[in-house]
Amino acid sequence: MPQRDGFGACARIEGLDGVEIPTGMPEEQRIAVPTEFDPEDEYRPEPEPEPLPPSWMDGQVRIGIHTSIAGRYLNALESARKLGCNALQIFSASPRMWQGGPARIPELDAAAFRVRREELRLGPLVIHANYLINLAAAQPMLRTRSIQAFHDEIVRAVALGADFLVVHPGARGEGGAAQAISTIVESVKQATKRIPMGRLKILMENTAGMGTSVGSRLEEVGEIVGGLLRDLPVGACLDTAHLFAAGYDIKSEEGLASTIGQIENTVALENVPIFHVNDSKIPLGGRVDRHEHIGKGKIGKEAFARILQHPQFTAPAEGLAGRAFLAETPIDNPGDDRRNVAMLWELAGLKEQAPEADRGFSMLTPALKRKIATHKARKTRSPQKRKQSSPKRKRR
């Protein structure tokens, strides 16, 4: 049988470069190959769907407490659940040490925390920064150390999937308030460099006015937030005990209305997603930070009911975060934490909607209370022993 150019009885097709290519098919089954590229034929992937809001962003008021990460981070979530919370605050490391643990959280631990939190529908998650951080510091060494420590706080907060990171502005020392505010703004900008913030928002907390601390006046908090809003996701966290100690009369109906007006004129309520809800051991204007159990301090039950049910503090629409009220109250006896959370739900008029708490659970167990008491007693005796054992200097 005669051959056709060495390819047998096979059809040939012409490629894009004009070269004939054998197809291995009879000529009657010839396939047409396009010689021109049509841009419309290019594959275009469908756009990614908009991510759904977290399950806790249901527009409802959120109530929680500061829980302990002792042992492992997951313990804080379980404590919040057992105490009847739907929100929580934690430290990401020791709050009173410059190096209170590793600067980074192992991804395995962070991922387990994020997954379990989603399962429990807890949110928002608020992290409180180290107490030693002084973003207003004039001394170069302290300021550098504070910026690095705050940078590490941000990294850990992002790893854990936190929604808010609360930090105290710091103390101005002998400098003026205006310079301190400028320093705080610049310090925060330095600490956030080269960090993808994701959904994390930084919140400046107001202070009670002790010493030279910045932020006891709402005008100061407003200036800090205003100086950062153009560049970063920021807002404010307002503490009820701090407001009261700084001279804002949130105890009376008229005083609360006046304070809300001042918040609107300085920080703006829309920039205040979190309230630290603490009663105060200190009277109005005492300028000292001492927290008390809800309803048992100088602010009182009636005032907290007004705050927690105030129309301007009510939750926004579904798909947005409801304002969160978080207790930082003392735990003097087992069950104090659970009772304070229950009191917040009751005073908010939401007792029937509160998550069920584990009866009898407390972060402070009787055994832990005894251990703490023993530790305090030893610390008290140690200076006395050193004083007694120190050699007496001979008289000349």
The answer to the question of residue 394 being in a domain is no
3-state secondary structure of 300: coil
Please name which of 245, 168, 165, 267 lies closest in space to residue 213, comparing C-alpha atoms: 168
List, for residues 303-321, the tens digit of each pLDDT value.
999 999 999 987 565 556 6
Torsion of CA 342, 348, 352, 357, to 10 degrees: -20
List, for residues 325-344, the tens digit of each pLDDT value.
999 999 999 999 999 999 99
The answer to the question of residue 46 being in a domain is no
At residue 314, the pLDDT reads 76
In the chain, the number of structural domains is 1
The answer to the question of residue 189 being in a domain is yes
Region of poorest pLDDT, from 43-52, 274-283, 360-369: 43-52
The answer to the question of residue 15 being in a domain is no
Helices (H), 194-250: 218-229, 240-245
User: Distance between CA atoms of 279 and 242, rounded to whole angstroms?
Assistant: 9
- Residue 184 lies in domain: 62-357+365-374
The answer to the question of residue 305 being in a domain is yes
Please name which of 256, 190, 248 lies closest in space to residue 221, comparing C-alpha atoms: 248
Please name which of 166, 232, 255 lies closest in space to residue 204, comparing C-alpha atoms: 166
Q: What number of residues does the chain have?
A: 396
CB 262 within 8 A of CB 227: no
Question: Given 3-state DSSP classes, what are the helix, strand and coil percentages for the chain, each rounded to the nearest 5?
Answer: 40, 10, 50
The answer to the question of residue 147 being in a domain is yes
Mention every residue, 6+ apart, whose C-beta is less than 8 A from residue 205.
166, 167, 168, 169, 215, 236, 237, 238, 239, 242, 276
Say if residue 386's pLDDT is above 80: no
The answer to the question of residue 310 being in a domain is yes
| Residue 23: band (very low, low, confident or very high) from pLDDT cuts 50, 70, 90 | low
At residue 53, the pLDDT reads 76
- Cα distances from 270 to residues 72, 88, 217, 273, in angstroms, run 34, 20, 18, 7
CATH number of the domain to which 187 belongs: 3.20.20.150
